[in-house]
Structure 1
Amino acid sequence: MQDFKGRTVIVTGATGHLGQATARAFAARGASLALVARDPAGLAEARQRLGVETDVATFAVDLLQPPAVSAMVDQVIARFGGLHALVNLAGGFAMGPAVHDTTDQDWELMMDLNMHTPLNCVRAAIPRFLEAGAGRIVNVSARAAIQGSGHMAPYCVAKAAVITLTESLADELRHTGITVNCVLPGTLDTPPNRAAMPDANHDTWVSLDALADVILFLASDAARAITGASIPVYGRS
């Protein structure tokens, strides 16, 4: 089991199902947590649901606003005295029309939610990691990034961009003590997915706790020799 005592971790998308599961896993292993999302009320609820004794602060931020993201990273470091890992979980999914019927807004929404949010976060955090001489960045792509599907093109392309962003950052930072990796989940076992696919075999899906375990591994010292990797987490689907 990884030990994160004395380490500060930013978790974006902290009000979502994966964000809450990942925050619980980090907290159970002693991490100090900066929970980040847009909704202050949702953050307060997520903080309350942690149910463990750990040092936690919440930050309501629009991750599409680079100045606000930079200010948040500075506030996290001022609050906790340092930053050791950035876990970019904020994102979103939407089905859509066929490619020839998509609008600019269809593409912009998926790119904003899935690519621009981690981009803004890494641009704010990397200078501080460079100052410290170490850091861990974990991004979330998707299985759909490597196998496009009809009526999902904007989502697939945005998640593919996350892989390329991860690889490019890892190459740039390979001699700095900073690692950058991403996970490629299959279908996650969440209440919304169960509601959308009630007849599917949910036992084959990826549990949130299982995916959180992979994320924690990549954020830990045990993964210090891994960078630029895209880790498939497909369950049995």
Structure 2
Amino acid sequence: MNTAFPPSSDLLKDQVILVTGAASGIGRATAMLAAQAGARVMLADWSSDTGEALAAELGEKGFEVAFQSCDVSQPGQVQALVDATLQQFGRIDVLVNNTGIPGASRPAHELDPEEFGRVLAVNLQGPFLCARAAIPHFLIQGGGVIVNVASTYGLIGAPRASAYCASKGGVIALTRQLAVDYGPHSVRVNAVAPGYVDTDMSGNRARLPEAQRLAAQQAREANAARQPLGRQAAPTEIARAILFLASPDSSFMTGSIVTVDGGCTATFNYNLA
């Protein structure tokens, strides 16, 4: 299995790509691969420290990048992000809506409405707000690309994840709807639906005592082992699919939901033991 970053290429040469949730996990991998593929990259994340550190790291390697702090659930901050990208780079060619939070793991009847609303605000309203702010510029330019990061949890049900499943299901529906409205204007809108990925989306595992952290990681790996490829994905494996959808190589794709899940949604996930 080769999950290392590939050599530099010209796949996105001279393109401007805006990546939300860029400071860690899938977003970080996407930003790094995009820079290596010749893109100029605007990094966006709520975490200023890690976002600025990544911008500095990529800048030291000679890549053209910038960072803007942003809570994608806030319309004003999203508009400021798009404005900053245009001011820095002069255009936006690709928007990657990656920011997401998992929410609490509880049955629906035990979940606070405020928590449900917060997950939808970040995971679903966030991509809507970012698309809403970027699309007018795509229309002026004569085209653009949006890649949304959904989840297999938007395609199937999952235990104790009502808010997350609802939000990612909404992202999938939004992807298809935007593709219908803006395809005639040369704006392509697709989504990836990752399965188990070796990331700590909420940062919760990193804050646990070591024994609990290891137990949580082992439980996740055990679940991933039950799918056909038998393991979690590396963030770079999802990022490569995102870059394909962002690039001219996918020029006749719009409204597509691309599962990158190790076969998770291809089979009933039963336990033979």
TM-score tier by shorter-chain length is over 0.9
Tell me the amino acid that sits aligned with residue 261 of structure 2: Y
1:5 counterpart = 2:25: no
Assess if the C-alpha contact under 8 Å between 1:138 and 1:180 holds in 2. Answer: yes
Q: CA deviation at 1:106?
A: 2.3
Supply the distance in 2 between the matched residues of 1:234 and 1:33 (Cα, whole angstroms): 26
Assess if the C-alpha contact under 8 Å between 2:104 and 2:115 holds in 1. Answer: no
1:234 counterpart = 2:242: no
Q: How does 1:29-48 map to 2 (within 5 A)?
A: 29-48=37-56
Assess if the C-alpha contact under 8 Å between 2:43 and 2:67 holds in 1. Answer: yes
- Superposed CA deviations along residues 208-237 of structure 1, whole A, max 9, x for unmatched, are 111100000000011111000111001255
Q: How does 1:135-214 map to 2 (within 5 A)?
A: 135-190=144-199, 192=205, 195=214, 196-198=216-218, 200-201=221-222, 204-214=231-241
Count of aligned residue pairs for this structure pair: 237
- Superposed CA deviations along residues 145-202 of structure 1, whole A, max 9, x for unmatched, are 1111221111101100000010110000111111000110000023659842325256
Unpaired runs of 5+ in structure 1? none
Where does residue 93 of structure 1 map in the other structure?
Answer: 102
Structure 2 residue matching 1:204: 3-state secondary structure: coil
Where does residue 268 of structure 2 map in the other structure?
Answer: none
Q: CA deviation at 1:78?
A: 1.8
- Superposed CA deviations along residues 120-166 of structure 1, whole A, max 9, x for unmatched, are 10000000001101101000110011111221111101100000010
Unpaired runs of 5+ in structure 2? 1-8, 207-212, 225-229, 265-273
RMSD: 1.8
- Superposed CA deviations along residues 91-117 of structure 1, whole A, max 9, x for unmatched, are 111343211222211211210121111
Q: How does 1:1-150 map to 2 (within 5 A)?
A: 3-50=11-58, 52-150=61-159
Assess if the C-alpha contact under 8 Å between 1:138 and 1:182 holds in 2. Answer: yes
Moved more, 61-70 or 169-178: 61-70
Structure 1 residue matching 2:26: 3-state secondary structure: helix
Q: Identify the match of residue 216 of structure 1 among 243, 254, 266.
A: 243
Task: Give the structure-1-normalised TM-score.
Answer: 0.93
Supply the distance in 1 between the matched residues of 2:218 and 2:10 (Cα, whole angstroms): 35
Q: CA deviation at 1:207?
A: 1.4
Task: Give the structure-2-normalised TM-score.
Answer: 0.82
Where does residue 225 of structure 1 map in the other structure?
Answer: 252
- Superposed CA deviations along residues 7-35 of structure 1, whole A, max 9, x for unmatched, are 10000001121111111100111110000
- Superposed CA deviations along residues 57-79 of structure 1, whole A, max 9, x for unmatched, are 11112222212211221221121
Q: CA deviation at 1:2?
A: 5.5
Identical positions, percent: 32
Moved more, 157-166 or 60-69: 60-69
Supply the distance in 1 between the matched residues of 2:177 and 2:150 (Cα, whole angstroms): 14
Moved more, 202-211 or 217-226: 202-211
Supply the distance in 2 between the matched residues of 1:8 and 1:187 (Cα, whole angstroms): 29
Tell me the amino acid that sits aligned with residue 121 of structure 1: C
